[in-house]
Amino acid sequence: MITSPDSPTPLAWRELLDKQSIHELILTYCRSIDRLDVQGVRDCFHPDASDTHGSFHGDAEEFIGWAFKLLKRYDATMHLVANHLATIRGEVAVSETYGISHHRSDNPDPRLNLTVGFRYIDRLERRDGSTWKIAQRIATTEWVRAPGQESEWPIPKDSATGSRDNSDPLFEMLRTLEK
């Protein structure tokens, strides 16, 4: 924790940069889940990472297979993160991230139209001076809400919408940086 903003030390700057890197890793994970970007999710984990996610318990690669099978049931998902705290000890960190995920489908089945309050409790490691990645994740479910169809509002046909692949407007905008 930085104690004096008047004279930050190199160590304090390093901690700020590490916390920002960890936060961006969590955001990248959420974006990759919502855009159905398998490689993007894979890149957030160390190869030997474990994940406990709802009823799933296994390694990161098994989690990816399990998650993407479920994600394809939905027409759209959106993972929003809120409170995020990271405690760093050298090359190891623990972070807690609160979030809400929306899962939407045209199917009226309430199991396919959920809003879930969750927390990601992560052990992160920076191995060999590389980037921070998840070594262990526990995703807790704090609450679940399944609204009825009568609470849905249709998206007008002429509205800009997202897509769950690399044709999403985000990726089009990112490609403009390559020119």
pLDDT, tens digit, for every residue of 38-59? 999 999 999 999 999 988 999 9
- Residue pair 135/46 in contact by the 8 Å Cβ criterion: yes
Q: What is the pTM of this model?
A: 0.84
- Residue pair 124/137 in contact by the 8 Å Cβ criterion: no
Strand 56-59 vs strand 45-53: parallel, antiparallel, or unpaired? antiparallel
Say how far apart CA 170 and CA 174 lie, in whole Å.
6
- The C-alpha R_g of the chain, in whole angstroms, comes to 18
Domains (range + CATH), the chain: 10-150 (3.10.450.50)
**Helix or strand run (H / E) with residue 92:** strand 92-104
- Residue 92, pLDDT > 60, answer yes
User: Which pLDDT score, from 0 to 100, does residue 166 have?
Assistant: 83
Measured CA distances, 117 to 69, 144, 160, 166, 174 (Å): 21, 6, 27, 27, 30
- Residue 149, pLDDT > 60, answer no
- Residue pair 93/86 in contact by the 8 Å Cβ criterion: yes
Higher pLDDT, 155 or 135: 135
3-state secondary structure of 178: helix
3-state secondary structure of 129: helix
Higher pLDDT, 59 or 171: 59
- Residue pair 38/29 in contact by the 8 Å Cβ criterion: no
Contacts 24+ apart (CB under 8 A), 126-133: 126/18, 126/91, 126/92, 127/46, 127/91, 131/21, 131/25, 132/18, 132/21, 132/22, 132/25, 132/93, 133/25, 133/43, 133/44, 133/45, 133/46, 133/49
